[in-house]
Amino acid sequence: MKVLLINGSPKANGCIWRALKEIKDTLEANGINAEIIHIGNKDIRGCVACMSCKKNGKCVFDDVVNETAAKFEEADGLVIGSPVYYGSANATAVAFMDRLFYSTPFSKSWKVGAAVTSARRAGTTATFDELNKYFTISGMPVVSGQYWNAVHGSTAEDVEKDLEGLQQMRTLAANMAFMLKSIALGKETFGFPEKEEFIRTNFIR
């Protein structure tokens, strides 16, 4: 089993990295492979609604999104981490997630997801809510911990002092490992629920 940990911060070794490292170490201690992918310093443009992905099976912009897509298809879980920018996720992380989830044709159902945020002081819960929506629209169980998944501080050294935040990362990771193993066992024992054909409506029909 494998989980991708997406570092959406521009800082390769900042607060989000420190939180993801705590998750990675705990996942690996529970027998789950984990990989941190740093995308926060990449030039990632937003979706332009060209719909090329519906014909080609991948985004027309061939960058780290397409590179990650292949790994995401094979992975069992995904954690997205973002710092708080003006009470929401930073633009690079949002552009990455928009394109990753929209352009990939494979089913994401029963992969597990989690969001991690960091802030000096506030905005973490709004960012947490924003990022979790990618999972809930995709049939992905969202892993919870003992509190909202956030660490506080301005540097990785600050996060080292956030003992509650780091404990939350360990709890989240342990719960994710348990959920991954439980889903695998459930699939083997019962099979996944049968999915109905998707009914698509809007407000004028």
Q: Where are the domains of the chain?
A: 2-189
Say which CATH topology domain 2-189 has.
Rossmann fold (3.40.50)
pLDDT tens digits along 14-46? 999 999 999 999 999 999 999 999 999 999 999
Spatial separation of the C-alpha atoms in residues 69 and 199, rounded to whole Å:
26
pTM comes to 0.95
Whole-number pLDDT of residue 205: 61
Residue 66 C-alpha from the chain's centroid: 16
Name the helix (H) or strand (E) containing 118: strand 112-119
pLDDT tens digits along 149-185? 999 999 999 999 999 999 999 999 999 999 999 999 9
